[in-house]
Amino acid sequence: MGYGRFFAMIATSTLVMYGLMYLNTYAWDHVWFSQTRMWMALLMGAVMAVIMLLFMWGMYRRLQLNLLILGVSIAVFAGSLWLVRSQETVGDVSWMKAMIPHHSIAVLTSRRAHISDPRVRELANGIIDAQVREIDEMEALIADIEANGDAAGEPAPVH
């Protein structure tokens, strides 16, 4: 097996992991591009590259290239982890686009959990109401900011 196939496996797996992170959203219209999820997918892809390379070390015989892959993977892991933890690249709209799927997960789990205690059901219903209201508010704000710019006078984002 060649290195091209190795890189294709890592790239494909990273894209698949990004997509899988949306499977627990309540509604498909709650799926928005999320920088945070992208950084997490890259972080997981980097870890997968290290694990796969170490398990298949004997199949890949070019020591310098193997060490380069390990080094790049560690750098991608560290950079992605910093971006996830710092949220350095996340602004108003990108924050809301990340929060909508997050809130949607709370709606899904609160609606579909097999809750028998009426106190817990009341709590879950309150979470559903709050999260749905906040999703609607974020979607309206995204539309407004993208059309008109933000309240601080920043221009509308260019797509």
For the segment 90-146, what is each residue's pLDDT rounded down to a tens digit? 999 999 999 999 999 999 999 999 999 999 999 999 999 999 999 999 999 999 999
Q: Look at residue 17 and tell me if it is in a domain.
A: yes
> How many alpha carbons lie under 13 Å from residue 29 in its C-beta half-sphere?
5
Q: Structural domain of residue 84, as residue ranges? A: 3-148
Span 9-38, average pLDDT: 95
Asked, for residue 154, whether it belongs to a domain, the answer is: no
The residue among 50, 52, 37 whose CA lies nearest residue 77 is 50
Residue 135 lies in a domain: yes
Residues 10, 52 contacting (CB under 8 angstroms) = yes
How large is the average pLDDT for residues 68-89?
97
pLDDT of residue 158: 64
- Does some domain include residue 132? yes
> Domains in the chain: how many in total?
1
- The answer to the question of residue 153 being in a domain is no
